Amino acid sequence: MEKRLSTPLSDGDIKQLEAGDKVLLNGVIYTGRDAAHKRLIETMEAGEELPVDFTGQIIYYVGPCPAKPGQPIGSAGPTTSGRMDPYTPAMLEAGLKGMIGKGNRSEQVKQEIAKHTAAYFLAIGGAGALLADRVQKAEVVAYPELGPEAIYRLEVEDFPVLVGVDAHGTDIYIEGRKAFAK
């Protein structure tokens, strides 16, 4: 069944999700990948204020292409999430409720997702042109010097994702594979 959710996400929103569910996301999501995560963690470790309040928010692991004139954003599909695993526990501690990416998460991250009543969403890797069509507005809100790795504030409409890891820690990659492994 397809579910529609708007950000910011509440614990109630998260608890109704099960691994494999199709979800259409609406509202504001933030981008952030390798370099931005490194800086966010360094900021937290230094005891300084983060450039964005991530309470109830979603981070999309993406480094988009430059926008053509008249478009809000260029191609914008997910990058491999596992590289953000070392940073994820601290981000969840800071109030983050959701992450969008592709690929496997570590056991530790899955446990932290369950502990914080959060969710890991999957977008289709390599579908950057289609996914860009669901972004209505994009503006850089932190670290512009990082280019494609800057933090963007995106406004999305019916952005299509699947629940990859739900608040029970159930992982769709493990479940999905079971039926087809010989």
Partner 1 sequence: MREVDVSYVTEAIRDLSIEANYYLPEDVMSALKEAREREESEAGAAALDMIIENAETAAGEKMPICQDTGSAVVFLEVGQDVHFTGGDLVEAVNEGVRQGYEEGYLRKSMTVDPFKRDNTGDNTPAIIYTDIVPGEQVKITLAPKGGGSENMSVARGLTPADGMEGVKDFVVDVVDKAGSNPCPPIIVGVGVGSTFDKAAQLAKKSLLRPVGAPHSADHIAQLEKETLEAVNNLGIGPQGLGGKTTALAVHIEPHSSHIASLLAAVNIQCHAARHSETVI
Binding residues (CB under 8 A) for partner 1: these are 20, 34-35, 62-68, 74-77, 79-80, 82, 102-104, 122, 124-130, 132-133, 146-149, 160, 162, 172-173, 175-182
Task: Please say which residue, 93 or 147, places its beta carbon nearer to partner 1.
Answer: 147
Task: Please say which residue, 31 or 117, places its beta carbon nearer to partner 1.
Answer: 31
Beta carbon of residue 4, minimum distance to partner 1 (angstroms, whole number): 18
Task: Please say which residue, 49 or 178, places its beta carbon nearer to partner 1.
Answer: 178
Contact between 136 and 113 under an 8 Å Cβ cutoff? The reply is no
Contact between 112 and 88 under an 8 Å Cβ cutoff? The reply is yes
Contact between 153 and 30 under an 8 Å Cβ cutoff? The reply is yes
Q: Which two tokens stand for residue 154?
A: 């995106």
Contact between 182 and 43 under an 8 Å Cβ cutoff? The reply is no
Task: Please say which residue, 18 or 95, places its beta carbon nearer to partner 1.
Answer: 18
Cα dihedral 80, 66, 54, 29 in deg (nearest 10)? -90
Beta carbon of residue 54, minimum distance to partner 1 (angstroms, whole number): 22
Q: How many CB atoms lie within 10 A of CB 139?
A: 10
Beta carbon of residue 8, minimum distance to partner 1 (angstroms, whole number): 25
Beta carbon of residue 85, minimum distance to partner 1 (angstroms, whole number): 12
